[in-house]
Amino acid sequence: MNAPPAGWHDASACLVDGSGNVIAYSEQERHNRVRHAIGDGFNKPTAAARFCLEQAGITVDDLDTIAIGWDIDQMFPGFFADERELASHATGFDFPGRLPEIVLVPHHRAHAASAFYASPFSEAGVLVVDGNGENESTTIWSFSYDREPERKYGLPRTASLGYAYDGASEWLGFHHLDAGRTMGLAAHGRARGLVVETLVDTDGDGLRLAIPPLPENDGRATIDEIGSHYGATVTAWRELYAKLAGADRPTVPADRLTEDPAAVLVAYTAQRLIEDAVTSLAATARRLTGVAELCLAGGVALNCSANGLLPGPLFVPPVPHDAGVALGAAWSVRPPRRPGGAISPYLGEDVRADGVGPTAAQGLVRTGFDPDRVTDLLLDGQVGAVAQGRAEVGPRALCHRSILAVPDTTAVHERVNRIKHREQWRPFAGVTSPQYAGTLWERQEHLSRYMLGAARVTDEARRVAPGVVHVDGTTRPQVLAPGTAPAVEAVLAALAGRGAPPVLLNTSFNDRGEPLVNSAADALAAFRSMDLDFLVLDDALYRRTPGGR
């Protein structure tokens, strides 16, 4: 689990069996509909855990172990009277009878396990980069199925690349958990050929940041110390960006940030810091572990632009951020016995389990799903959504909870951003079949499986799919593996059958500030609240009646 008191955002729960097979996995935000599950009373993964138990047909009494992806005893010494109180606080469940074994897995160890055991590799180095764990912000690990994981390298909390990026996001007026907006804005700096300050020295194996690490105790850090260090370090970075920009904040609102040279400068400066540092750390990981195969985890591994610069073989799991430590903690206790290929991300709630009654569908016309009919709508310029099968885990929509459009013009990019109430400078990703991917963008062996690496597009992509080409000439592609998302796969095939390019704009099915839709009820509610033209829900196609909402 990723659970309080340490896991205060992106709470999640994962259930594995005795052989390490994943039975169910879900993020709390998908159930309570509060993005990142932030807020007093919202950040316990109770609903996510309950979903996992129900999926397996068991109760808490059947659990052998509860693994939490933080060393809570270190961070909150003496906070809990006993393990029963800790278990109840973390999960929100009562344990009146037998208490499962409680295992506290160090945060970076859990991150690393979530990446390696989700990968197809039998041996790999793992680079973990995030805001902070208990005592570190960056670690390098050596993993193999033949031996225990080994920590090879570490940087302290206040040498945090995550903190450095947070400082830029906060200067821009964003929440630090919304750093994807900073990354999207940074591309405008790259496209303009900005020359920016280099804020990291990457000579040798170490990193020397422009903001030196604060003095830290060599011993075990408490949550108060971590909070104090975070505030001081992020403030120092924010002040540095202000000095470089010559301003304390942007001069325009968020939807016009591309018009503010200082805002673009700050975003691109922070992005280059991450790219330079991660490129150096990846090389260090390969040298220290002696293997070419590399996995990434931690919140910084969501930085698709940085990931896309790294040479392969490279794997990033669908949940590299803090929600992923639920999986990594479970696998630290019950690891898979052998590589099983890259993990399926479709481990959440199934829309087929949530029947749609006549009241929920009032004002809508329901017909059976027909890929040819959906293709007609898309080729006519309509924008729709799909909610089919089990929800994907992680922040990227992977065609089970997606908004779709034909990206043959830049106008569709503008319309989808309006539908999602986003800034017009925000980019979109494309999805296509394995057979067509090489004609659109650079091939990526694993990153395009979960839409976690930027790739440079081809001239053909600029011609046939300008709606998914970002200003710097990249996109964040998804290559859809056969049999993983039947509705979208059928539409791509239908497009090809018509002689149209089999590529779609694919973005998350959610309105601004909301998590991805989870249940059928969520999908219908989001469809009604957004200016979408149609909805594929399980095996049905829903459209509005005239005047219907």
| Cα dihedral 405, 407, 408, 412 in deg (nearest 10) | 70
Tell me, yes or no, whether 175 and 275 share the same domain: yes
Count CB atoms within 10 A of the CB of residue 372. 11
Tell me, yes or no, whether 330 and 476 share the same domain: no
* Long-range own/partner contacts, residues 40-45 (CB < 8 A, 24 or more apart): 43/3, 43/4, 43/7, 43/8, 43/9, 43/11, 44/3, 44/4, 44/11, 44/89, 44/90, 44/91, 44/92, 45/1, 45/2, 45/3, 45/11, 45/12, 45/13, 45/91, 45/92, 45/326
Total domain count for the chain? 3
pLDDT of 548 reads 53
Identify whether 497 is part of a domain. Answer: yes
Tell me, yes or no, whether 39 and 186 share the same domain: no
Instruction: Dihedral sign for Cα 298, 89, 49, 515, please.
Output: negative
Count CB atoms within 10 A of the CB of residue 59. 11
From start to end of 157-304, where are the E strands? 200-201, 208-209, 294-297
* 98-115: average pLDDT: 97
Q: How far is CA 331 from CA 34, 232, 504, in A?
A: 27, 34, 35
pLDDT of 340 reads 85
pLDDT higher than 80, residue 221: no
* 418-429: average pLDDT: 97
Three-state secondary-structure class, residue 65 = strand
* 318-333: average pLDDT: 98
Count CB atoms within 10 A of the CB of residue 487. 23
pLDDT of 341 reads 87
- Span 42-73, pLDDT tens digits: 799 999 999 999 999 999 999 999 999 999 99
pLDDT of 515 reads 97
Q: How confident is the model at residue 307 (pLDDT cuts 50, 70, 90)?
A: very high
Identify whether 120 is part of a domain. Answer: no
For the chain, what is the mean pLDDT? 95
Cα end-to-end span (Å), the chain: 38
* 254-267: average pLDDT: 98
* 361-377: average pLDDT: 93
* 144-165: average pLDDT: 96
Tell me, yes or no, whether 298 and 185 share the same domain: yes
Identify whether 408 is part of a domain. Answer: yes
Active site (catalytic) residues:
9
What's the rounded Cα separation, in Å, for the pair 230 and 249?
20
H runs (alpha helix) in 479-545: 486-497, 520-529
- Span 393-414, pLDDT tens digits: 999 999 999 999 999 999 999 9
What's the rounded Cα separation, in Å, for the pair 476 and 183?
12
| Cα dihedral 335, 336, 339, 343 in deg (nearest 10) | -90
Tracing tokens 């790739």 back to the chain, one arrives at: 455
Q: How confident is the model at residue 491 (pLDDT cuts 50, 70, 90)?
A: very high
What's the rounded Cα separation, in Å, for the pair 366 and 368?
7
Judge whether 122 and 142 are in contact, CB under 8 Å.
no
Instruction: Dihedral sign for Cα 270, 200, 287, 139, please.
Output: negative
* Residue at 313: amino acid letter: P
Q: Is 529 left (phi over 0), alpha (psi -120 to 50) or beta?
A: alpha
* 226-243: average pLDDT: 94
pLDDT higher than 60, residue 549: no
Bridge partner list, 411: none
* 186-204: average pLDDT: 95
Identify whether 138 is part of a domain. Answer: no
Residue-level length of the chain = 549
Looking up residue 359, the CATH number of its domain turns out to be 3.90.870.20
Tell me, yes or no, whether 213 and 159 share the same domain: yes
Question: What backbone torsions phi and psi does residue 182 show, to the nearest 5 degrees?
Answer: -60, -45
Tell me, yes or no, whether 285 and 163 share the same domain: yes
Q: What is the CA radius of gyration of the chain?
A: 23
Secondary structure of the chain: what % helix, strand, coil (to 5)? 40, 20, 40
Tell me, yes or no, whether 100 and 166 share the same domain: no
Identify whether 123 is part of a domain. Answer: no
Q: Which of 275, 270, 184 is nearest to 474 (CA)?
A: 184
pLDDT higher than 90, residue 356: no
pLDDT of 218 reads 60
pLDDT higher than 70, residue 353: no
Q: In the chain, pLDDT over 90 holds for what percent of residues? A: 89
**Domain assignment of residue 95, given as a range:** 1-106+323-340
Q: Tell me the two tokens of residue 281.
A: 């750390």
Three-state secondary-structure class, residue 441 = strand
Identify whether 60 is part of a domain. Answer: yes
User: Would strands 364-368 and 540-544 be described as parallel, antiparallel, or unpaired?
Assistant: antiparallel
Three-state secondary-structure class, residue 26 = strand
Tell me, yes or no, whether 535 and 406 share the same domain: yes
Q: Which of 503, 339, 522, 517 is nearest to 408 (CA)?
A: 503
pLDDT higher than 70, residue 181: yes
Tracing tokens 């009032």 back to the chain, one arrives at: 362
Q: How confident is the model at residue 224 (pLDDT cuts 50, 70, 90)?
A: confident
Identify whether 126 is part of a domain. Answer: no
Q: How confident is the model at residue 226 (pLDDT cuts 50, 70, 90)?
A: confident
Judge whether 533 and 545 are in contact, CB under 8 Å.
no
pLDDT higher than 80, residue 357: no
Q: How confident is the model at residue 217 (pLDDT cuts 50, 70, 90)?
A: low
What's the rounded Cα separation, in Å, for the pair 104 and 92?
17
pLDDT higher than 90, residue 514: yes
pLDDT-wise least confident of 194-208, 391-405, 422-436, 516-530: 194-208
Tell me, yes or no, whether 488 and 515 share the same domain: yes
Tell me, yes or no, whether 98 and 160 share the same domain: no
Looking up residue 73, the CATH number of its domain turns out to be 3.30.420.40
pLDDT higher than 80, residue 379: yes
Q: How confident is the model at residue 310 (pLDDT cuts 50, 70, 90)?
A: very high
Count CB atoms within 10 A of the CB of residue 86. 22
Identify whether 132 is part of a domain. Answer: no
Judge whether 384 and 533 are in contact, CB under 8 Å.
yes
* 259-284: average pLDDT: 98
Tell me, yes or no, whether 300 and 184 share the same domain: yes
Tell me, yes or no, whether 485 and 377 share the same domain: yes
* 339-358: average pLDDT: 86
* 104-121: average pLDDT: 98
pLDDT of 436 reads 97
* 201-208: average pLDDT: 84
